[in-house]
Copies of this chain bind each other. A is one copy, B any other.
Amino acid sequence: MHSFTEENYLKTIYYLASRQTGEVSTNALAEMTATKAASVSDMLRKLADKQLIHYKKYQGVRLTEEGERVALQIIRRHRLWEVFLVEKLGFGWDAVHDIAEELEHIRSEELVTRLDTYLGCPQFDPHGDPIPTSAGQMPQTGYQKLSEINTGQRVQLMGVLEHSTEFLQHLDHLDLTLSCSVTVAESNAFDKSLLVQLESGRTVFVSHEVAKNLLVGESQ
């Protein structure tokens, strides 16, 4: 099948493509995978040979249908394992990503099927990210960033765009957990920071940097 490395490139291409329009650049991939552009170029040629990406030299890449299928399968595994680690083993949501990065490469269709069933076919991972279906579809969510919410509106915290341990621990510190309801009490015009009221009545200060990385949906 495909090597760990190939799987990781495909996943990264999918991720970068989902956050922009047009082709994904060599440099963006190099930064994301913590390698050099020269190494990325080599790998892109290989992935193109295997028909996993569309690639014209100097023009960036995008996934083929087959490439996207593989990418979504890896993302599905990653997110299912994250659910397992949090729901069954009791890990914190800030501690599971790196372990899932390894578990996602275990090669067994049967394992994924059984794991999914065992977990009750979850729709979202511990960070609110939707879990691709076994048929290879990425469920769409209509969430907005907290930074785009008007003052006075009440919304529910549905996901995060940043997955670093530091960021997630900061949210824990602020008592901002997934699915909690919050009201935007004040918006500071100068630095775009927010004052946000929790259900408990307590208000917390949320910087623009943080608000940009929080996904929210209609309350209730």
Residues of A within 8 A of B (CB): 85, 88-91, 95, 98-99, 102-103, 106-108, 110-111, 114-115, 118
Contacts and interface: CB of A to CB of B under 8 A. Distances in A.
Nearest to A91: B114
Contacts of A108: 98-99, 102
A107 B99 CA distance: 8
B106 A102 contact: yes
A89 B115 contact: yes
Copies of this chain per assembly? 2
Contacts of A89: 111, 114-115, 118
Contact of A95 (B85, B90, B106, B110): B110
Q: With a 10 A CB-CB cut-off, give which of A91, A95, A108 has the most chain B CB atoms.
A: A108
A110 B98 CA distance: 12
Contacts of A98: 108
8 contacts: A85-B111, A88-B88, A89-B114, A90-B114, A90-B118, A102-B107, A102-B108, A103-B106
A97 to B, nearest CB: 12
A88 B106 CA distance: 17
Contacts of A95: 110
